[in-house]
Amino acid sequence: MATTATSSESKNPPQAPMHRDLARALLDPESSGIAAYVQECVHSTSIGVDATFVFVLQVIEELDDAMNEFLPSTPTHQPLLHENEVELGTLLSAASLTVRYVTERQAMTPLLQRYRNAFAKVLQYPSWESSGYFGLKVVALMGTTRVLESFGENVPATDVLEQLRWLFPLFQSETSPTADLSKVMNALLRPACEYVAVAMQTHPAVREAIFTELTPVNVILSLKKKVLPQLLDVLSKVGADVNESAVAEPVKVELATTVAVMLEAKFAHVPLNSFALLSLPGFVEEMEADETKVAPDPRVYGDVLAVLRASTHPDASKEYNTSRQLAIVTMSEAINQFTRYSKSTANRIVSGITRIAAACRQDIQPSANELVLPLLPAMLDGSQWGKFLRLRTEAVATVLLGCAESEDFRVEDHEWISDFIGFLLDPIVSSENVHSFMILCGLIRAERKLLLHVVSFCMAHPRTVTQTLHEPLSRWPLYEEDVELVIITLELLQPLLSVDTLRATVDVDVIYATVLQLSENATAEGLEPISKELSKFAEVGNSFELLGISAPVQFHQHTFQYKLPIEGGPKDW
């Protein structure tokens, strides 16, 4: 083929002189090769647009001139003279590499159509008997593909489809331009597969057409109207319609690979994530599955239980109960011997408890104490922080949420609940305030039983609540790291203040004075997230009025501005 000949000629130039200057330079014994020569001329911004354009123009003019001489308008079936084939193949290779390597794109754009026309003329030249022509067609098709890769935005989708309609019938015995189908396959099938693969990436508009569009009936047989079915047909017939030994092994591999890529594109799917089969509470931050681990991951227990619990299969309920007990026993044994595990394994075990609780929901209540009590001491004594503490907090919260869903749920049955609520309201590790408040918000918004218990806890521990909920709202100036805490504190206050018993025991004037001062400061400083959250307090104010509780005179419910100055600052609750 010309590509092979061109490569060898770059080292051993033919005795016959080249007719054109560029061809002589490319095949000069002192030249380092076509690719290196082209790169030196176009592959750098230091070359400049003008110099690049001069070279790009020289390439296409010499190529056009060579084609006019060696490829007459009246096709000939006579083989090309060797020196003519080498010269034309050299210029064709230079053109393809110029498209690939040119850095100054604006130098190529005005001449791009001439390059495309040159590649098309060689590729579709109606001479199919000589191996020399096949070699030239291979280089031309590769050049056409380089145009798509580098200048795809300049190639209309209709031109791509037209190229595909012409190209793939070549590989059908009924429409092949030569009786020796294996010769066509060995020469053009691999670059054709590359072309369609690139076209699917550069021209998304043709992807569906590759699978579904009907090409003209007079072009190919009615049963072979789409690119993918044609390739599948070729794949199935290699070794049947075509002598298997006549088709090179790399061609078969390329064909199979391209068909696989096209099938995957046609039937695209998102691989199942084995850690996403169940819905988790909004406050749970997912851990990434460690794909490098060979050992079983305890987090998958929850997903299995979720599937069994939702199944309508007659045996699913029995299997679910058995599996739930087994999973809980396994987790209980594991959390009672954390010292045996690495930190990453311990974290996966804790996350596994979260997922089991999320899957079992109210069914987790009988085993709640067994799962929670071993986790609490390290949370309450301050020995855990960061990710280790957050994962344990999420696990206990998810178990608590499942317990609260049960109809026979009673706080007294779980002595750890009050300790856990106290921990959330006043975390031992102050850096975890935001995470703790976020979880507490999730709990009281999900279950009114938990909201009422938190209210009872607040009434029983007024000073803790005063410090916890008042201090974030009254501090000023605010730093960037404080904004999240202020917003989540406001989110927490809203459901708490919706309960009559808590409203009756707090000083409404002080609450609103604090909120109003915060609103004024946030507006002045342009803290939009805080102002947006504060606007929700207008609804809280309205509900107070309906219940006969007067909002302070200073409070304007809709604008959060002072009507009268507030004397003194916010006081303790």
- Residue carrying the six token digits 């595909």: 164
Radius of gyration in angstroms for the set of CA atoms belonging to the chain, rounded to a whole number: 37
Model pTM above 0.75: no
Q: Which amino acid is at 347?
A: N
Residues 37, 95 contacting (CB under 8 angstroms):
no
Q: Omega before 477 cis (within 30°)? A: yes
- How far is residue 551's CA from residue 512's CA, in Å, rounded to a whole number? 8
- How far is residue 281's CA from residue 354's CA, in Å, rounded to a whole number? 9
State residue 313 phi and psi, 5-degree precision: -65, 140
State residue 178 phi and psi, 5-degree precision: -140, 155
- Supply the pLDDT for residue 27: 83
Both tokens of 84, joined, read 């003519």
Q: For the purposes of burial, counting CB atoms within 10 Å of the CB of 456, is it exposed (0-12), middle (13-18) or buried (19 or more)?
A: middle
CA 119 to chain centroid, in Å, comes to 37
555: helix, coil or strand? strand
For 33-60, b/e burial (b = at least 16 CB within 10 A) is ebbebbbebbbeeebeeeebbebbebbb
Both tokens of 165, joined, read 């309609």
218: helix, coil or strand? coil
- End-to-end CA distance of the chain: give it in Å, rounded: 90
- Supply the pLDDT for residue 212: 65
Containing H/E element for 302?
helix 300-310
Tens of each residue's pLDDT in the chain, 573 residues: 344 444 433 344 444 456 788 988 888 877 788 999 999 999 888 899 999 999 999 999 999 999 999 988 887 777 888 888 999 999 999 999 999 999 999 999 999 999 999 999 999 998 887 888 899 999 999 999 999 999 999 999 999 988 988 888 888 777 777 777 788 888 888 888 889 889 888 988 887 767 765 444 444 343 345 666 666 666 666 655 444 457 777 777 777 776 676 666 665 555 555 445 566 777 676 655 454 455 567 878 888 888 888 888 888 889 989 999 999 999 999 988 888 888 888 888 898 899 999 989 999 989 899 999 998 888 887 777 788 888 999 999 999 999 888 888 888 888 899 889 888 887 766 667 888 888 998 888 888 888 988 888 888 887 766 777 777 777 777 777 778 888 888 888 888 878 877 777 776 677 777 777 777 777 777 777 777 777 766 555 444 443 333 443 333 333 333 233 333 333 333
Cβ neighbours of residue 481 closer than 8 Å, sequence gap 6 or more: none
Residues 344, 389 contacting (CB under 8 angstroms):
no
What does DSSP assign to residue 27? T
- How far is residue 401's CA from residue 370's CA, in Å, rounded to a whole number? 15
* Residue ranges of E strands in 105-176: none
238: helix, coil or strand? strand
Residues 306, 278 contacting (CB under 8 angstroms):
yes
Cβ neighbours of residue 458 closer than 8 Å, sequence gap 6 or more: 425, 465, 496, 502
Among residues 412, 417, 371, which one has the least CA distance to residue 395? 371
Q: For the purposes of burial, counting CB atoms within 10 Å of the CB of 553, is it exposed (0-12), middle (13-18) or buried (19 or more)?
A: exposed
State residue 506 phi and psi, 5-degree precision: -115, 160
- Supply the pLDDT for residue 219: 40
Q: Which amino acid is at 32?
A: S
Strand partners, 242: 238
239 conformational bin, left if phi > 0, alpha if psi -120 to 50, beta if neither: left
Residues 34, 6 contacting (CB under 8 angstroms):
yes
CB atoms near residue 226 (< 10 Å): 18
